[in-house]
Amino acid sequence: MWLSGKKQKHMDLLRFATAGSVDDGKSTLIGRLMFDTKTIFEDQLEAIEESSRKRGEDYVNLALLTDGLRAEREQGITIDVAYRYFATPNRKFILADSPGHIQYTRNMVTGASNSQLAIILVDVRHGVVEQTRRHSFIVGLLGIKHVVVCINKMDLVDYSQEKFEEVKKDYLSFISKVNIPEIHFVPVSALLGDNIVEKSEKMPWYKGSSLLYTLENVQVVSDYDFVDSRFPVQYVVKPQIKGYQDYRGYAGRVAGGVFKPGDDVVVLPSGFSSKISSIDTFSGPVEEAFPPMSVTMRLENEIDISRGDMIVKENNQPKVEQDIDLMICWLNEKPLQPNGKYTLRHTTKEARCVVKEVLYKVDINTLHRVEDNKEIRLNDIGRIRIRTTQPLFFDTYQRNKGTGSLILVDEATNTTVGAGMIL
Amino acid sequence: MDTINYKLSHLDILEAESIYVIREVASQFESPVLLFSGGKDSIVLLHLCRKAFHPARLPFPLLHVDTGHNFDETIEFRDRLVKQIGANLIVAYVQDTINSGRVAEETGANASRNALQTTTLLDAIEKNGFDGAMGGARRDEEKARAKERFFSHRDEFGQWDPKNQRPELWSLFNGRKNFGEHFRIFPISNWTEMDIWQYIQRESLELPSIYFSHSRSCVKRNGVWLGVTDFLNINDDEVVEEKTVRFRTVGDATCTGAFESTASTLDEIIDEVSTLRLTERGGRADDKRSEASMEDRKKAGYF
């Protein structure tokens, strides 16, 4: 039966990541958030009640809800990023639940790379520790503009305002060196649910909102660049079917700016000029396309365009270079090889590159540049210079995450070893 | 610049992301395939694939791993839809795998062919030389699924290693592999059950009738209503009852639970889903075998 009806709730979407040291109560916080937003289903709750009982635990261990792998349950720690979903009437949330453990920092980078907001959890008794600094630095480096610092385990310090203010002050003095425009502080007890969904009566001195209210209402600055028009060609649509023999469309997702039919465009790297004749979708042509829409563009002239090329506006073009400086976060046990060759993926383009120079490494604790030891190992972050086999068309990561990010792939193992942000 | 005008709804964002992933699959793999079961998630995924390549036809075939224990409504629907959109459907039969002696049918009251599908799937992937298999799995379905990447690397035995997943950053998907290895790709990873229903409604997608409330002979087993079919062994102490039910998820008829519902329109289903207190897979007998049953099956090459 074909069904009619166009009823659709207009909700917006917030992608956020959690970070925090081991035992700061991150899994409990997430469990609590899901429990109190009624995202946990009865059968899931029964399953974790049963598991908690088997493990001889006194209370229902909400962390068991999020630790989905056998090895994680065995060790009681989160190893890999997991994605969780919940919704309130106006907003849908995608939560990248990232591990706090130092040896899995790379997974935290993975989880945070697509996030618009980060929750950083701090144990009020321990205050700002190395992992807090490391995660906050990564959050800043990844261009996340909103941070909510949850100062947890307030129940263990008698809900002391003084202790809260102390940690807050420490955090603010550290974070002044990191570029994060908006920071909220919320005193919470994840275990008991204080200030998670409802405002807690135990902390009348706290005038702010609960965590969930903050997440629901934070006005997230768009992560997209609507100014610089960038359309990396992903796939060429050439139907070999009746009625469409002459159709030639360039499919892709808009990485920046706004495109309209009639716009004068230039195709990189060829430099040929043309005009957009139409922007097509399955449901018909559209009047404009902007990030992150997936569309198919047609141009007035027949030009040779393939995957990896980029359609841009005549009067606003990206940088086109082969020598590129970037901040790299290393994700593999095998250290970065100076002069090593790697396969690189940038937008829809695959190329090769050689690492020309390691300029410095960052000391995550002090945020100082380390120039006497330039070996980039697992979880290290540093600045490198690469030379690519063919020119890339890019913007700085600060300006456009889509055209400013790249990954390095080890050619022997095919694994993704580096996450790069172009400077 | 005023960016208020440039806001998309959550369904538009999810759709754009999925189409992007699907196009990456068509671009990065030599011989991709779309796993299609006729269930609601694969119907949504198929629709997204059509959107991704419009006005061209799909640049890959569909593969249905057929346990032989189907609901008739699903197979009838599958064949009609495939014909309508001019797609190329390959069916791999679990029965053939059993006949060839590669797997043995389970015995006992709870016998199911669900686990046997893995061998049939891996054989079909190898035989047809597929190097990228897309499927409609969602991360919200199950806790082991919540851990999976969009691009999930499988070794030459088709195995998943949860401790050795490739980091997946931004929208940069790495599909490089050695000969004999393949990838599983999950373009609708970020969709929830509710998103699927809202999207089906928005896009006016047709579904097999068993998703809507109807009368059916059922038996209750391990707290789950199972539809009576020729493939279900009914124990002496089990009573067949006529129930008004619908299905939330459709798989092998021997382990897919029906549940009592009068929801017969999409509006009613959406209202119902928003108040349900059990997970979608709560009705899947195969998940209840142990705490890590999904993880273990996935490691072995299950979808």
The DSSP line for A352-391 is: EEEEEEEEEEE-TTT-PEE-S-----TT-EEEEEEEEEEE
Measured distance CA(A91)–CA(A36) in Å, rounded = 16
- Mean pLDDT to the nearest integer, B277-284: 62
Of A224, A290, A419, the CB nearest to B169: A419
**Cβ count near B83 (within 10 Å):** 10
Measured distance CA(A146)–CA(A144) in Å, rounded = 6
Let me know the angle formed at the C-alpha of B87 by B59 and B56, rounded to the nearest 5 degrees: 45
Measured distance CA(A256)–CA(A91) in Å, rounded = 24
For B222-239, the pLDDT digits (tens) are 777 888 887 777 888 888
User: Is residue B98 packed enough to be buried (19+ CB in 10 Å), middle (13-18) or exposed (0-12)?
Assistant: middle
CA distance B117 to chain A (A): 22
Using DSSP's 3-state secondary structure scheme, residue B153 falls into strand
Q: Do B169 and A110 touch (CB under 8 A)?
A: yes
Interface test with B, best of A407, A410, A413, A422 (most B CBs within 10 A): A407
CA distance A383 to chain B (A): 18
The strands making up A182-187's β-sheet, listed across from edge to edge, are A82-88, A91-97, A12-20, A117-123, A146-152, A182-187
Contact between A13 and B13 under an 8 Å Cβ cutoff? The reply is: yes
Measured distance CA(A153)–CA(A62) in Å, rounded = 15
B:79-138 residues touching chain A, CB 8 A cutoff: none
**Looking at beta carbons, which residues of chain A come within 8 Å of B188?**
none
**Cβ count near A324 (within 10 Å):** 22
Which stretches in chain A have pLDDT values below 50?
1-8
Using DSSP's 3-state secondary structure scheme, residue A8 falls into coil
SS (H, E, C) A157-175: HCCCHHHHHHHHHHHHHHH
Phi, psi dihedrals of residue A387, rounded to the nearest 5°: -120, 130
- Mean pLDDT to the nearest integer, B140-148: 79
Average pLDDT, chain B: 86
For B235-274, the pLDDT digits (tens) are 888 888 898 989 887 777 777 788 888 999 999 998 888 8
**Looking at beta carbons, which residues of chain B come within 8 Å of A239?**
55-57
Share of chain B above pLDDT 70, in %: 88
Q: Is the CB of B276 inside 8 Å of chain A's CB atoms?
A: yes
The amino acid at A191: L
Half-sphere exposure of B95 (CA within 13 A, CB side): 7
Nearest to residue A226, comparing CAs of A400, A9, A86? A400
**Looking at beta carbons, which residues of chain A come within 8 Å of B23?**
234-235, 251-252, 294
The token duo for B216 is 């059916």
The amino acid at B265: T
Of B167, B169, B295, the CB nearest to A69: B295
Beta strands in chain B (DSSP E): 32-35, 62-66, 89-93, 132-134, 151-154, 182-185, 214-221, 224-227, 241-247, 257-260
Q: What is the pTM (predicted TM-score) of this model?
A: 0.91
ipTM (interface pTM)? 0.91
Residue B199 Cα distances to A76, A92, A421, B13, angstroms: 37, 14, 35, 12
CA distance A399 to chain B (A): 15
Q: Is B158 a residue whose pLDDT tops 60?
A: yes
Q: Which of residues B5 and A274 earns the better pLDDT score? A: A274
Q: Do B23 and A294 touch (CB under 8 A)?
A: yes
Measured distance CA(A17)–CA(A29) in Å, rounded = 13
Q: Do A82 and B292 touch (CB under 8 A)?
A: no
Q: Which of A123-137, B193-207, B289-303 has the highest mean pLDDT?
A: B193-207
pLDDT at residue A124, as a whole number: 95
